[in-house]
């Protein structure tokens, strides 16, 4: 039986890289879809609003795990074998999109409606209003909760270990199976998560403070 | 030809009828003040003129544009009709200069250099040339409102609407905004304004319109209207406001 040493530690560090990569991919995919969904939720067309509402409601009401099982095992059964990284990215992206859509919708709605009226009165189209007036202000409002959500996402990536994707949590399990030193190993795993999440939490709180005090610039 | 024609406009919010058949014509270069108690429908009427409020029946025509809710026609209308709000509504993430240049560049496709020259020109008109690079948050209410007027002027409107533009200001700041409006009026701008400044309406507006219960109750040349109100409602209103 091996013991927990330098090579095992480096194995965990490399797995941390996968956790970060997975977080980044899920965030980008989810962010693109979530942005579109947020705007659909606020569309003047009822059909678009309804599609986005139902999507968000469904995704927020089922465990990510089920989405993951469906995209990994379900699609495999239907003949589409997705590599674990792809299945994991897509599943997490779907999960992220539903939550970011709601965070961002709230941020857009937090921009005073007078800003819509003033920009409409200057003959801007709806797209121009979003682009030049509403979104720059909404993004500022959304930064603290978005970064806060990112912290959740980093931790929730651990769920993809169930489809055999070796990220930080799964790597911890593997090392533990070989060495059986759970306190040391999972302590290190937790510390690695902490090293990522703690600065993000601080950043979120910092943004909240800074952006609140001076909202012009 | 009239610059603004309002014909028998009816407007409901749900079951409440706030405009009960309003008709009004404004000639080019005329200044018309709308006065009345809160809830009389005066702001709603003003907002109908640039399409911010849809109305159920009647007709509004502004410098050749028929007002309806078609987005494309609304944009064409709004290139010719400026509006200034009670709460200024400047864009807080943009500097004064950017606030003014945005619509001419984006909505009218003006070149950057032309927009810059235009912004400086309209800022000079409201006496704030030196504030070009300042953010709205760092301006007083009166200055913000003057920038809002400049931002509207940069669209080269043929008609300007003012919706209680001094109501949010401290008394010592109202003067500087009214002065700018008076200058605009003298220069021949067609103006429709909702106001609580009775002295301003009396001295600057050619016509004053008194609204009551969603109707134009009484209207006429400002001086005559204020010195000899005919209806008891206007007599009471003028009495309570001039004391």
pLDDT tens string B73-98: 999 999 999 999 999 999 999 999 99
Return the number of CB contacts < 8 Å for A and B: 68
Our count of domains for chain A comes to 1
- The pLDDT score that the predictor gives to residue B87 is 95
Q: How far is CA A168 from CA A85, A155, B51, in A?
A: 14, 10, 57
- The answer to whether the CB atoms of A118 and B82 lie below 8 A apart is no
Whether A18 is in a domain gets the answer yes
Instruction: Return d(Cα B154, Cα A169) in angstroms, integer.
Output: 59
Residue A117 to chain B, least CA–CA distance (Å): 7
Residues for chain B: how many in total? 243
- The pLDDT score that the predictor gives to residue B103 is 97
Which residue segment(s) compose the domain that A105 sits in?
6-212
Contacts of A136 in chain B (CB under 8 A): 93
CA neighbours within 13 Å on the CB side: how many for B108? 21
Q: What ipTM is given for this predicted complex?
A: 0.94
- The answer to whether the CB atoms of A215 and B92 lie below 8 A apart is yes
Q: Which residues, given as ranges, of chain B have pLDDT below 70?
A: 242-243
Whether A41 and A171 have beta carbons less than 8 Å apart is answered as: no
Tokens for B12, please give them.
């409901």
Burial of B209 (0-12, 13-18, 19+ CB in 10 A): buried
Distance of CA A173 to the CA centre of its chain: 24
Whether A206 is in a domain gets the answer yes
Instruction: Return d(Cα B191, Cα B48) in angstroms, integer.
Output: 15
Instruction: Return d(Cα B147, Cα B92) in angstroms, integer.
Output: 12
- The pLDDT score that the predictor gives to residue A1 is 62
- The answer to whether the CB atoms of B89 and A118 lie below 8 A apart is yes
pLDDT tens-digit map of B32-60:
999 999 989 999 999 999 999 999 999 99
Instruction: Return d(Cα B158, Cα B137) in angstroms, integer.
Output: 29
Query: Which CATH number does the domain housing residue A131 bear?
Result: 1.10.3720.10
Residue A124 to chain B, least CA–CA distance (Å): 6
Interface test with B, best of A115, A116, A121 (most B CBs within 10 A): A121
- The pLDDT score that the predictor gives to residue A216 is 45
- The answer to whether the CB atoms of A119 and B91 lie below 8 A apart is yes
Measure CB to CB from residue B91 to each of A126, A133, A140 and give the nearest one: A133
Residue B82 to chain A, least CA–CA distance (Å): 7
Alpha helices in B154-217 (DSSP H): 171-186, 198-204
Nearest CA in chain B to A135: B93
Whether A126 is in a domain gets the answer yes
Among candidate residues A162, A140, A153, A166, the one with its CA nearest the CA of residue A196? A153
- The answer to whether the CB atoms of A122 and B87 lie below 8 A apart is no
Whether A217 is in a domain gets the answer no
The DSSP code for B67 is P
- The pLDDT score that the predictor gives to residue B243 is 54
Element (H, E) at A178: helix A168-179
Establish if B107 touches chain A: CB-CB under 8 angstroms: yes
The contact set of A with B (CB < 8 A) is 114-115, 117-126, 128, 132-133, 136-137, 140, 214-217
Tokens for B197, please give them.
């400044």
**Residue in the block written with tokens 């400047």:** B90
Among candidate residues A187, A182, A164, A156, the one with its CA nearest the CA of residue A23? A156
- The answer to whether the CB atoms of B89 and A115 lie below 8 A apart is yes
Tokens for B105, please give them.
């560049």
The pLDDT tens digits along chain A (217 residues) read 678 889 889 999 999 999 999 999 999 999 999 999 999 999 999 999 999 999 999 999 999 899 888 888 888 888 888 888 888 999 999 999 999 999 999 999 999 999 999 999 999 999 999 999 999 999 999 999 999 999 999 999 999 888 888 899 999 999 999 899 999 999 999 999 999 999 999 998 888 888 764 444 4
- The answer to whether the CB atoms of A137 and B93 lie below 8 A apart is yes
Residue A35 to chain B, least CA–CA distance (Å): 21
Q: How far is CA A45 from CA A40, A121, A124, A132, B72, in A?
A: 8, 21, 19, 22, 17
Distance of CA B160 to the CA centre of its chain: 5
- The answer to whether the CB atoms of B107 and A121 lie below 8 A apart is no
Instruction: Return d(Cα A165, Cα A87) in angstroms, integer.
Output: 10
Interface test with B, best of A107, A111, A118 (most B CBs within 10 A): A118
Instruction: Return d(Cα A116, Cα A110) in angstroms, integer.
Output: 12
Interface test with B, best of A116, A119, A123, A140 (most B CBs within 10 A): A123
Nearest CA in chain B to A141: B93
Q: Which residues of B219-239 are buried (b: 16+ CB within 10 A; e: fewer)?
A: beebeebbeebeeebbeebbe
Instruction: Return d(Cα A162, Cα A141) in angstroms, integer.
Output: 36
Among candidate residues A209, A118, A104, the one with its CA nearest the CA of residue B93? A118
The C-alpha angle B49, A134, B162, rounded to 5 degrees, equals 25
Query: Which domains are present in chain B?
Result: 2-242 (3.40.50.300)
Tokens for A183, please give them.
């306190």
Whether A197 and A155 have beta carbons less than 8 Å apart is answered as: yes
- The pLDDT score that the predictor gives to residue B107 is 96
Contacts of B108 in chain A (CB under 8 A): 123
């Amino acid at each position: 039986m091996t013991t927990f040493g330098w090579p095992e530690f480096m194995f965990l560090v490399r797995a941390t890289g996968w956790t970060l990569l997975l977080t980044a991919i899920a965030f980008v995919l989810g962010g693109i879809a979530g942005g579109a969904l947020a705007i659909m939720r606020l569309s003047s067309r009822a059909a678009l609003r309804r599609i986005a509402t139902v999507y968000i409601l469904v995704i927020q009401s089922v465990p990510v795990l089920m989405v993951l099982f469906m995209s990994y095992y379900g699609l495999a059964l239907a003949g589409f074998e997705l590599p674990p990284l792809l299945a994991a990215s897509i599943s997490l992206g779907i999960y992220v999109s539903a939550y970011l859509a709601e965070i961002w919708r709230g941020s857009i709605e937090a921009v005073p409606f007078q800003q819509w009226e003033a920009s409409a009165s200057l003959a801007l189209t709806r797209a121009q209003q979003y682009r030049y007036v509403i979104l720059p202000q909404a993004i500022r409002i959304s930064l603290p909760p978005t970064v806060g959500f990112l912290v959740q996402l980093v931790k929730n990536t651990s769920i993809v270990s169930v489809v055999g994707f070796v990220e930080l949590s799964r790597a911890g399990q593997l090392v533990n199976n070989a060495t059986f030193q759970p306190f040391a190993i999972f302590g290190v795993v937790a510390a690695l998560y902490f090293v990522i999440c703690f600065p993000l939490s601080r950043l979120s709180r910092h943004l909240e403070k800074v952006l609140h005090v001076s909202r012009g610039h | 030809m009239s610059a603004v024609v309002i014909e028998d406009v009816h407007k409901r919010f749900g079951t409440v009828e706030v405009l009960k058949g309003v008709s009004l014509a404004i000639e080019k270069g005329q200044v018309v003040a709308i006065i009345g108690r809160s809830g009389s429908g005066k702001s709603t009427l003003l907002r109908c003129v640039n399409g911010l409020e849809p109305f159920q029946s009647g007709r509004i025509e502004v410098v050749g544009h028929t007002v309806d809710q078609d987005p494309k026609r609304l944009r064409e209308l709004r290139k010719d009709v400026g509006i200034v709000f009670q709460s200024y509504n400047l864009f807080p993430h943009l500097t004064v200069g950017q606030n003014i240049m945005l619509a001419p560049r984006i909505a009218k496709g003006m070149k950057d250099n032309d927009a810059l020259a235009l912004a400086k020109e309209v800022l000079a008109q409201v006496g704030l040339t030196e504030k070009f690079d300042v953010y709205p948050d760092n301006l007083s209410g009166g200055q913000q409102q003057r920038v809002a007027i400049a931002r509207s002027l940069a669209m080269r409107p043929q008609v300007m609407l003012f919706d209680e533009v001094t109501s949010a200001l401290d008394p010592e700041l109202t003067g500087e905004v009214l002065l700018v409006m008076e200058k605009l009026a003298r220069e021949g701008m067609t103006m429709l304004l909702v106001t609580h400044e009775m002295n301003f309406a009396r001295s600057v507006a050619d016509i004053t319109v008194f609204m009551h219960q969603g109707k134009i109750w009484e209207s006429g040349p400002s001086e005559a209207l204020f010195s000899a109100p005919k209806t008891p409602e206007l007599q009471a209103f003028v009495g309570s406001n001039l004391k």
